Structure 1
């Protein structure tokens, strides 16, 4: 099967594995390597979660997944984004970073397990292979447009960077781009 024929569920499960590996790298690193690993994780999560929010969750709702289940996953994702922002604010060298990061990583693992069971399973059962391939293409598009660093400066003032900067700004920029791509793919 070529990359263009990949199933979105396979792609997302693979990303879940990458996220788990990235969290382990953060915990196993120190110094500049820890900061680089954390930045890589933020980018990976931003791409993944934005794609899920804009592509997968709506598809899951269309294919027999209750609003309650999807809304719980969305709430977990928002909590994770805010935890990432807090971790970013304290910095990887802070004495509390590792303990807080472990709590974050455990929550992410639990979230991915629930997603795979409660959303991906129904997608496999109810969405056609053609639709799952189309959804995978949109997810890959999100990966392609994501900045290589989650820490893009958008203004000179501290307030400008706080309002639109890392990591929440990256999540928002990716959601908007994916939403636009999804609309364009429907019109094509």
Structure 2
């Protein structure tokens, strides 16, 4: 995927946050196959986004921003909670009677998490990391996203090391599973 050169890593992440925020009501309001497809898009976006943040952004924030360790620990806790909720929703399926209520709870948690990043972590990065390095990190983020799993795997942990080690094999498995699912859906 070619990156638009004018966007730095923070611009890309905020853009993804907005995509997530817009997807939640679309999933909630959809029915049948459209709901399932939109939810799969949301699952993929959340899983890839969080993995890439854990690998690329959080280690730099931990090191560079004021109270970085505390800030990142709070974000990682939120991400672990979101992964658990997303996994539960994925296992329930879009037709389950509790799906929409649990989706709203997840939407609220993701919105609070995204807002915390945008209000605390990202301004700290803009202050401490050069614009040139933020631009370079956009490419690093996109590389991490290309190797990230497409669904949550809470058992792998929330660290950059865990994601770096477990991410590529899980990503291959997830992408193969996605292709099989899509082919079966389209050809049966």
With normalisation by structure 1, the TM-score equals 0.77
**Which residue in the other structure is 2:114 paired with?**
112
**Which residue in the other structure is 2:142 paired with?**
140
1:66-85 aligned at under 5 Å gives the runs: 66=67, 67-85=69-87
Which stretches in structure 1 are left out of the alignment for 5+ residues? 151-165, 181-188
**Which residue in the other structure is 1:35 paired with?**
36
**Which residue in the other structure is 2:17 paired with?**
16
Q: Which of residues 151, 163, 175 in structure 2 aligns to 1:175?
A: 163
Question: What is the Cα deviation at residue 146 of structure 1?
Answer: 4.8
Q: Measure the CA separation in 1 of the matches of 2:96 and 2:166.
A: 34
Which stretches in structure 2 are left out of the alignment for 5+ residues? 169-188
Question: What is the Cα deviation at residue 178 of structure 1?
Answer: 9.8
What SS does the aligned partner of 2:96 have? coil
**Which residue in the other structure is 1:7 paired with?**
8
Q: Measure the CA separation in 2 of the matches of 1:44 and 1:16.
A: 10
**Which residue in the other structure is 2:51 paired with?**
50
Q: Measure the CA separation in 2 of the matches of 1:58 and 1:117.
A: 18
Q: Measure the CA separation in 2 of the matches of 1:117 and 1:109.
A: 12
**Which residue in the other structure is 1:86 paired with?**
88
With normalisation by structure 2, the TM-score equals 0.77
Change (3 A) 1:121 1:142: same
Change (3 A) 1:136 1:100: same
Q: Measure the CA separation in 2 of the matches of 1:179 and 1:93.
A: 29
Question: What is the Cα deviation at residue 122 of structure 1?
Answer: 0.6
Question: What is the Cα deviation at residue 102 of structure 1?
Answer: 0.3
Question: What's the Cα RMSD here?
Answer: 2.5
Q: Deviations over 1:23-58 (max 9, x none)?
A: 122112111111111111111011110111111111
Q: Measure the CA separation in 1 of the matches of 2:58 and 2:145.
A: 17
Give the length in aligned residue pairs: 161
What SS does the aligned partner of 2:80 have? helix
Q: Deviations over 1:106-140 (max 9, x none)?
A: 11001100011110001111101121112111111
**Which residue in the other structure is 1:126 paired with?**
128
